[in-house]
Chains A and B, each alone.
Chain A
Amino acid sequence: MIPTIIPDNAIGGIADAIINWLLVNAGGFFDAISYAAGVAVFSVKDFWLIIPPIVVILITAAIGWYRTKKISVAMFAMVGLYIVYNMGLWEPLMETVTLITLSVTISVAIGVPVGIIASRSNLAWNIIKPILDLMQTMHPFVYLIPVVFLFGLGMVPGLLTTIVFATPPSIRLTNLGIRQVEDQYVEAGEAFGSTTMQLLRRVEIPLAMPSILQGINQSIMLSLSMVIIASMIAAGGLGDEIMIAIQRLNIGRGIEAGLAVVVLAIVLDRISTAGQSNIT
């Protein structure tokens, strides 16, 4: 028998205590975040729902054509989104799009600057890397629980968990992209007297752009997968449709919502990876 040094429940107990302490002492702080995120979520959702579906469909198709120069992408967007509309899933689709719009915006706004900092110093990267590992390997189901305590149920906690899940690839690929810039370009930039900021802005970031864009694409795809999972805490959107279908064992409803997710995923992926190599 292996002796148990740490008492049962000690680690879980610490986590419980932390969440309880936060609830008692920092409740106002989380309420404020919750309120601000709520305002953002509902205004973006209203924005997406106020535009007539036909306009959204046509604009998406136009962007698809503009970005990829492929008529097939535009056609797919048009037909796919129309079918989603026809299945009566427009409002859940727009809720999901709302969560993705916000989570990707915030993930990239956090991820790219943090990635840049990580690329500047090995110390920073050694601190950030284990945090990212934890964020990415801890199963999302697990951090849904404390989020419910701190933020309740609904689209707002759904958004926050999605941000946690979608930020790491932006950080990682920004860091990787900048570190992979060839020495000769950095050397040339320095030899002509660039400041650190000039080197970053004029040489390193532009040369790291393919990698950074790939990180943004990854953030989009992970957001999409997480907003579906977040339906477990009533995040709304297509995930809720799937959840209802599971609970009622309703095959048809589940397939319809699932297809809507596929259409959205393909459209977002094609638009966000346009101009990059197809190999990855």
Chain B
Amino acid sequence: MIKTENLYKVYGDQPEDAMAQIEQGMNPKEIRDETGSVPAVIDVNIEAKKDESFVIMGLSGSGKSTLVRCINRLVEPTKGNVYLEDSSGETVNVTTLSSDALREVRRERISMVFQEFALFPHMSVLENVVYALRIKGEQNCEKKGREMLDEVGLSGWGEVSPSELSGGMKQRVGVARAFVTNSDVVLMDEPFSALDPLIRREMQEWFLDELKHKFEFERTIFFITHDLQEALRVGDRIAIMKEGQMVQIGSPQDILQNPADEYVQAFVQDIKELAEEGDLF
């Protein structure tokens, strides 16, 4: 389980000024013009449960990538807390961890899948998959790595270079690399956005039919996307983000039936039109 509590991230040299202005209720655009600081995440409170895939949906610049990076502190939050509860029920506050403890958390409990795959080009597919195990000093990780490659449908591809794979295959490697560590939380930052539409569809189906069934139990998946259609397909719950703030959090049903404001309504309208044309599911 992951919970964020009053989480803020302001980019810039003087985040304090911008923080004060946020508290006065100024909107992010005014703050940026006045202080030069950019509020990217503003007072976000979300809670994603074990065995849930929690989707954060927003347009580019809405702060969703920053938010997800605040969870494993690739981006240092300006204010607020991130709580992580592991399978044994123990809770830690990620934001206050020392760098050693944070490294432990990243190795054991939070892993990540990247939009542009970020597979290391100088390593083979198998070496990429076992990277996280290897830096922990785990012996005989090759066997685990090969089993993981079997799971994602890439048996026998371990020795080739990632550059020889197609986009969809690359992201399967990215997923294998994140899942091999048995982490409690997997952060997926627009994992299918860089793929062309047909492959994206295929990967979404793979995610739903195989990956979720095999791995989701005991895990929290954070799935970032800018595509509401994708969000509705893969999400158990969806959080819609705009200019750093949460607009609405709810099940796909909620979002479709009771859009919280015009912003969400606009997205939903698009989807409904597609659905009428019979193009949605």
Contacts and interface: CB of A to CB of B under 8 A. Distances in A.
A191 B132 CA distance: 9
B112 A193 contact: no
A173 B116 CA distance: 27
A207 B122 CA distance: 7
Interface stretch (A37-45, A63-71, A198-206, A213-221): A198-206
A191 B74 contact: yes
Interface stretch (A85-93, A94-102, A180-188): A180-188
A20 interface: no
Nearest to A198: B135
B107 A193 contact: yes
Given A184-B116, A202-B135, A191 B111 contact: yes
Nearest to A188: B118
B178 to A, nearest CB: 8
Contacts of A198: 135
Given A192-B131, A193-B103, A187 B136 contact: no
**What DSSP secondary structure best describes chain A's contact surface?**
helix
A260 to B, nearest CB: 39
B74 A187 contact: yes
A187 B107 contact: no
Contacts of A185: 118, 120
B103 A188 contact: no
Nearest to B134: A202
A190 B105 CA distance: 11
Interface in B51-90: 72, 74
B11 interface: no
Interface in B131-150: 131-132, 135-136
B210 interface: no
Contacts of B177: 192
Interface residues of A, number: 17
A189 B131 CA distance: 9
Contacts of B34: none
Interface residues of B, number: 23
Among B105, B118, B187, the one with the most A-chain Cβ atoms within 10 Å of its Cβ is: B118
A109 B118 CA distance: 31
Consensus secondary structure, chain B interface:
mixed
Contacts of A207: 120-122
B118 A192 contact: no
B107 A184 contact: no
B74 A195 contact: no
Contact of B135 (A184, A187, A192): A192
Nearest to B106: A193
Given A185-B120, A188-B120, A206-B122, A193 B135 contact: yes
Contacts of A188: 112, 114, 118, 120
Interface in A225-248: none
B221 to A, nearest CB: 15
B79 to A, nearest CB: 22
B104 interface: yes
A178 to B, nearest CB: 14
B72 A191 contact: yes
Interface string B94-131: 00000000011111100110101010111000000001
Nearest to A203: B120
Given A184-B116, A185-B120, A194 B74 contact: no
Interface string B165-183: 0000000000001000100
A119 B38 CA distance: 27
B136 A193 contact: yes
Given A192-B131, A192-B132, A193-B135, A184 B114 contact: yes
B213 to A, nearest CB: 25
B122 A187 contact: no
Given A206-B122, A207-B121, A192 B116 contact: no
A195 B103 contact: yes
A187 B131 contact: no
Contacts of B74: 187, 190-191
Contacts of B120: 185, 188, 202-203, 207
Contacts of B132: 192-193
B101 to A, nearest CB: 11
Nearest to A182: B118
Q: Which among B107, B108, B116, B135 has the highest number of chain A CB atoms within 10 Å?
A: B135
Contacts of B103: 193-195
A100 B146 CA distance: 47
Contacts of A194: 103, 135
B106 A187 contact: no
Nearest to A201: B135
B137 to A, nearest CB: 10
The list of the 5 closest CB pairs from A to B, nearest first, reads A193-B107, A193-B106, A192-B132, A188-B118, A184-B118
9 contacts: A185-B120, A187-B74, A190-B106, A191-B72, A191-B112, A192-B111, A193-B135, A194-B135, A202-B131
